[in-house]
Amino acid sequence: MSATRDEILRALEAVTLPDGKTLPASGRLTDIVVKDGKAIFAIVIDPSEVNALEGARASAEAIVKRLPGVTGALVGLTADRPQGAPKPAAPAPTPLRSGPKIEAPATSKLAGVPGVKHIIAVASGKGGVGKSTTSCNLALGLAALGLKVGILDADIYGPSQPKLFGLRGKPTVTADRKLQPLERYGVKVMSIGFLVDEETAMIWRGPMVMSALTQMLREVAWGDLDVMVVDMPPGTGDAQLTMAQQTPLAGAVVVSTPQDLALLDARRGVAMFRKVNVPVLGIIENMANFCCPNCGHVSPIFGHGGARAEAEKTGVPFLGEIPLHMDIRATSDEGRPVVATAPEGPHSRAYLAIARKVWETLESGSAAKPAPKIVIE
Ligand code: ADP
C-alpha cells in the first residue's frame, strides 16, 4: 500500500530549514501528490534561496524515498508560488546608505554537473520560432566539431527532441540509480518525452517543472561532456526564469524569427537572462530567408535582417542566420536532422558556423557578462 500524505508529512518533520522551522511547519510545502507509490511535491522559495535550501530539498527527497510503500520521490524547489501559499521571507534588506553603489553582477554559485564542462540554454521569447530544431542542429554541429555533447530537453510542455533525433524507448537505470540517456548521431539525449507520454507532459504544472529539470540535470548518467545544450520551454515567464536561475548556465542563445513581434519577444528573452546574470552568447535568426526548394530563389519573406539589427541594438553578438527551407522541416519531422544527415549541405554549414562561434565564446570565456548595475540607495 502507498504511503499517505500524513505519513509523508510526519516523516518530513525530520527536515529542518536554516531558520530552525521544520519543513511541514515552514508553510513552504506545496500539495503532496502521491500517485502509484510516487510522491511529488515542491518547497516554495524566494529565488535568492536556491543554494541555502538545496540541502533541505535533497534530504526531503531521500527521507520520503525510504518510506515503506513509496516507490519514488520527486521533490523540487519552486519560486512559482501556488495561490494562497505564504510568501517566503525575503532576505534581509541592506541598510540604507547615501550615494550610488556599483553592484557587481553575481556570478553563478550553483553547483555544476560533475563531468560537464559547459551548460548552455537555447531559449526563445515565444513558441514556434524553431528553438527545438535549432537546439538539435546546434548540438549536432558541436558534436561535428569533435566535442562530447548532450542535449537536455527541458521543454517539458512540449518535448520535441525524441522526435527530432528519431529516438523512442525508455532510458535504462544504471547501477547507481541514474537514468542512462539515449544516444543518436553521437549526441546523448534526455527528455521528459522518454518518461511520460506526450499528453501527460502537457499538463505539468510550475513546481513540477523545476523538479523534473533538476532530476534530468543531476540524476542522469551524462558522463563527460564538453557541452550540454538545454532546450528551454518557450517564453519568458516565471517557470523559465526559475529554470534559468537554477541551472548552472555558462551562457544562453536566443532564437528569433525576423518578424517584429518575435523580435520583441527575443528582447524579452535577452532581458530574462540578463536579469539572472547569465551571459547571452548571442541571437540566431531562424527562418531568415525563404529558399525555394525548386528553383533555389531566395526571398526575404519576413523582412530578413531584423535579428542582426536587434542583436546590435541590445549589445549581444549575432550568431548567424538559418534559412526557412523545406529540407530543414522535413528532416526534423523524420528524425533525421539536417546536420547529421546532410553534413556537407548549405544548411549544415550555417549551423556549423554558429556552433563554432558558440564553442569559441565558451572556451575563450569571453561571453558578454551583464554590465554592472548602478543602484541608487
Ligand atoms: P519551437 O521549439 O520554437 O516551438 P520547433 O523547432 O518545434 O519550434 O519548430 C517549429 C516548426 O518549424 C517545426 O515544424 C520545424 O520543423 C519548423 N522549422 C524550424 N526551423 C525551420 C527552418 N529553418 N526551416 C523550415 N522549417 C523550420
Alpha-carbon span 202 to 196, nearest angstrom: 10
Sorted by where each begins, the domain ranges of the chain are 5-90, 116-364
The residue whose CA has the least distance to atom 24 of ligand 1 is 324
Q: How many residues does the chain have?
A: 377
pTM exceeds 0.75, yes or no: no
User: Which residue type occupies 320?
Assistant: G
The residue whose CA has the least distance to atom 15 of ligand 1 is 329
Contact 194, 220 (CB under 8 A): no
CA of 203 to the centre of ligand 1 (A): 22
Alpha-carbon span 194 to 188, nearest angstrom: 13
Pocket test for ligand 1, best of 304, 332, 354 (most atoms within 8 A of CB): 332
Pocket test for ligand 1, best of 133, 254, 334 (most atoms within 8 A of CB): 133
The residue whose CA has the least distance to atom 12 of ligand 1 is 130
The residue whose CA has the least distance to atom 17 of ligand 1 is 329
Which ligand 1 atom lies nearest to the CA of residue 133?
6
Alpha-carbon span 358 to 351, nearest angstrom: 11
CA of 160 to the centre of ligand 1 (A): 10
As beta bridge partners, residue 190 has: 152
Give the pLDDT confidence score for residue 30 in this predicted structure. Answer: 81
Give the pLDDT confidence score for residue 344 in this predicted structure. Answer: 94
User: Which residue type occupies 241?
Assistant: L
- Phi, psi torsion values for 330, nearest 5 degrees: -65, -45
Which ligand 1 atom lies nearest to the CA of residue 333?
16
Q: Which helix (H) or strand (E) holds 354?
A: helix 346-364
Which ligand 1 atom lies nearest to the CA of residue 286?
23
Listed in sequence order, the DSSP H helices in 98-249 are 131-144, 161-164, 198-202, 206-218, 238-246
Which ligand 1 atom lies nearest to the CA of residue 322?
23
Which ligand 1 atom lies nearest to the CA of residue 323?
23
Give the pLDDT confidence score for residue 371 in this predicted structure. Answer: 44
CA of 64 to the centre of ligand 1 (A): 41
Contact 92, 215 (CB under 8 A): no
Domain 116-364 has CATH 3.40.50.300: yes
Which residues, 6 or more positions from 285, have their beta carbon under 8 angstroms from its beta carbon? Answer: 256, 257, 258, 304, 305, 306, 307, 308, 318, 320, 321, 322
Q: Which helix (H) or strand (E) holds 262?
A: helix 260-275
Which residues, 6 or more positions from 43, have their beta carbon under 8 angstroms from its beta carbon? Answer: 23, 28, 29, 30, 53, 56, 57, 60, 75, 76, 77, 78
Give the pLDDT confidence score for residue 132 in this predicted structure. Answer: 96
Cell 552568447 found at: 281
| Ligand 1 site, CB within 6 A | 124, 127-133, 160, 234, 286-287, 322, 324-325, 328-329, 332
3-class secondary-structure state, position 81: coil
Please give the distance of CA 273 from its chain centroid, rounded to a whole number.
11
The residue whose CA has the least distance to atom 19 of ligand 1 is 130
Q: Return the CATH number of the domain spanning residue range 5-90.
A: 3.30.300.130
Which ligand 1 atom lies nearest to the CA of residue 155?
2
Alpha-carbon span 139 to 118, nearest angstrom: 12
Side-chain-side CA neighbours of residue 224 (13 Å) = 1
User: Which residue type occupies 112?
Assistant: G
Which ligand 1 atom lies nearest to the CA of residue 347?
23
Averaged over successive runs of 10 residues, the pLDDT of the chain (377 residues) comes to 84 93 90 79 79 87 90 76 46 33 44 91 92 97 98 88 94 89 97 76 61 85 97 87 88 88 82 92 88 74 71 87 92 96 94 97 72 41
- Phi, psi torsion values for 332, nearest 5 degrees: -65, -45
Cell of 274: 540578463
**DSSP string of 10-22, one letter each residue:** HHHTT-B-TTS-B
